[in-house]
Amino acid sequence: MKFITFQLVTPEKTVLQQELVSLNCPTDMGQITVLPGHIPLVANLVPGELHAKTDHDDFYLYVAGGFIEVRSGNQVVILADDAQHHHEIDIKQAEEAVKRAEQGLKEQHLSGEEYARVAASLHKSLTRASVARRHAHRRNPLTGQSTLNQ
């Protein structure tokens, strides 16, 4: 079985480093799925949900945008502005962020640039909250360990 050597990094840390069987991520053009043997590709990421599948585990993550690079030799690198595992997202905090951003948009005295920034952050917080809610019922994918214990 062929695997993808996958690395998801943000400026703060390496969020995920795994051998995957498939990777689904949100790009400018919509969701794409990368399987082993994909040709080299570079694309912009948009805020959304990333689904990384290993042979026995699933990872659901929120990404805030960035780039995906598929290199030859089944290597995939994602440079994300921000990324979080679904179980790491504090739903309450995420919803508060949504509220704050909505509040910010209502304020009248935003310049064009500020408005764009707040709107973008609203979009990001909404996505983040929805990723957290969608997967709230799942247990944490402690790689390997949780599956071994059961």
Partner 1 sequence: MAGIRDLKSRIRSNQSTRKITRAMQMVSASKMRKAQTAVMNSRTYSSLAWELILNLSSKVRTNGPLMVTYPHAKKVGVVLLGSNRGLVGSLNSNLASKLKELANPEVISEVVIYGRQAKTLAFRNNQNMVADFIKQDKHISSEDIYPLAEYITKAYATGGYKSIVIVYNHFVSTLIQKPTIKQLFPFLPIESGVLPEKESGLDEEGQGREIHTDYLFEPTPWEVLEHLIPRIIESQIFQTVLESDASEHSARMVMMKNATEAAGDLIDKLTLTFNQLRQNKITTELAEITAGRIALE
Residue 120 interacts with partner 1 (CB under 8 A)? no
CB 3 within 8 A of CB 74: yes
Q: Which residue has the tokens 């402690």?
A: 142
CB 146 within 8 A of CB 138: no
Residue 18 interacts with partner 1 (CB under 8 A)? no
73: left (phi over 0), alpha (psi -120 to 50) or beta: left
Contact with partner 1 (CB under 8 A) among 39, 106, 111, 145:
39
Residue number with CB closer to partner 1 (15 or 129): 15
Residues touching partner 1: how many (CB under 8 A)? Answer: 22
Q: Which residues bind partner 1 (CB under 8 A)?
A: 7, 9-14, 27-29, 32, 39-44, 67, 69, 71, 77, 79
